[in-house]
Structure formats: C-alpha cells, structure tokens
Amino acid sequence: MSDVIRVMVIDDEMHIRRLIDRMLVGRGFTVIGANSGKQALSLMRQPQTRPDIITCDVSMPEMNGFDILEAVKSDPQLADIPIIMLTAMGQTGEAYRAREMGAADYITKPFSTMGLIDILKQHLKESDGDRDRDRDSLNR
C-alpha cells in the first residue's frame, strides 16, 4: 500500500460528502468525491483517481449503492477495492445483501468519525494483506 491512501466518497448529498471529506483529510487521507455512480465508476477507472477504498451511500438516484457495488465487484480491474456501504436505513436484510454482494462492511448513519476511520483502516489492512498473498502466489 502506498503512503497516500485514496478514499472515494460516493454520495449524492454534497453536505455528507463534505463532512466525510473533512474528517478523512484531517486524518491524512486523500479524498476523491463523486456525486453519482456514473461519475464514481469513471473516476475509479483512471489510474490517478483509482481509490484504495470506497465509501458508498446506498440511497442515490440513477445508480443506487447496490448497483455501484455490483458494477465494481463484477469488473476485474476494480473488484479488489473494498467498499464500505453507508446508509440511513439500518435494515438487517440490506446489510446481509450488501455483504453477500461483496461489500467489506455496512455502516448506518449517523456514525462516529473514529468509528469510520477504524473501519477504513481495518479493511485497508485486510485488503493490503490479500494483495500481498496474491503477489506471493504469483511468485511461486
């Protein structure tokens, strides 16, 4: 993992993106904001804006969070990026569905700053370990 950790924040509500942006930048993360699924997918396919991890709102117009999750996990170039789903709906079935589709985690709003930071760090560490294991298996 590089020294600069890029977090993509996908949310159609600007005030939520700004809030998450401020909390992450203040902790040393680089934030890439996207207000729609189409914009997010376009940005993550560019090397300079490919995120290390994604937070994604569930309820959005056009492409909802599950549509974005499906698009990312079905794309071999993006599938290894952990996705943390953020939602105001704390429904058990939705959390289960998200994990079954490949989401790394499912967090309900409101959430604490440190709670989100801890979850991001946990999944970045796990993701980095997975990439190291993949590289080791290729070198055998």
CATH number for 108: 3.40.50.2300
**In degrees to the nearest 10, what's the CA dihedral of 74, 98, 7, 22?**
150
Per-residue model confidence (pLDDT) at position 139: 36
Parent domain of 82: 6-138
Own/partner long-range contacts of 105-110 (Cβ < 8 Å, ≥24 apart): none
Query: Is 121 within a domain?
Result: yes
Q: How many domains does the chain have?
A: 1
Average pLDDT by stretches of 10, the chain with 140 residues: 83 93 93 96 96 95 95 97 88 86 92 89 81 38
Which pair of structure tokens corresponds to residue 122? 């946990």
Tell me if 43 is assigned to some domain: yes
Full-model pTM: 0.86
- pLDDT at residue 110 in the model: 83
- The CA distance from 139 to 67, in Å, is 35
Give a yes or no: residue 71 inside a domain.
Answer: yes
pLDDT of residue 80: 96
